[in-house]
Amino acid sequence: MKLALACAVLALPLSITPALAQASRTPAGQGQALLLETAGKWQAFSSQQGRSKICYALSKAETRVPANLKDVDGLLFVSSRPAEGVRNEISFVMNFDLKEDVEHQAIIGNERFALVAKGQNMWLKNPAEEGRMLDALRRGSGLEIKGTSKRGNATSDKYSLAGLNQTVKRAEDACK
């Protein structure tokens, strides 16, 4: 289900940067994403296809290491899908293949969260920690994602959390 969401969300037009805006790949029948709000480094969107509505806050990684991955953007989503009973699911799209048999990490201040990978996507290893992680994101100023590429290379993406509170709330409100 989470992999399907990542694929569906990536198919929606993104306008957080001009480069991402050009990455619009909306398939036939897919609802067009509606920009709800921009705050800091974050944007809130909603999209509807039939009775299924998706609302999400999105941000792009500000920095990425190693430098040879600079041409592909890391993305962080906080998504709600009311028809599936999903609220504020945290996911990452790295846009390169990840090693799937290792534990990756999200670091917010002194808090660490274990992540698992499938293809180019990551989620919390323990979904029950999503509330705790969202609280840490709301209180924090930055987030670092440490991962391992499929080739075994260590990677690091850093995100600003400026604007997260406002855009997550806007996405929550749109999917009530």
Between 118 and 30, the higher pLDDT residue: 118
pLDDT per residue over 148-167, tens digit each?
999 999 999 999 999 999 99
pLDDT-derived band of residue 136, with 50, 70 and 90 as boundaries?
very high
CATH of the domain at 139: 2.60.40.1880
Residue 26 lies in a domain: no
Whether 25 is covered by a domain: the verdict is no
Q: For 137-141, what is the mean pLDDT?
A: 96
Is residue 24, in this structure, part of any structural domain at all? no
Please spell the DSSP secondary structure of 75-132, one letter per residue. Answer: EEEEEEEGGGTEEEEEEEE-SS-B-SSS-EEEEETTEEEEEEEETTEEEESSGGGHHH
Indicate whether 71 belongs to any domain: yes
- Residue type present at position 51: R
pTM of the model: 0.81
Domain count, the chain: 1
In the 8-state DSSP scheme, what is residue 146?
Answer: E
Examine residue 158 and state whether it is found in any structural domain, yes or no. yes
| Residue 93, in any domain of the structure | yes
Q: Which domain holds residue 36?
A: 2-18+31-174
The answer to whether residue 79 sits within a structural domain is: yes
User: Could you identify the residue written with the tokens 């991402």?
Assistant: 20
Is residue 23 one of the residues assigned to a domain? no
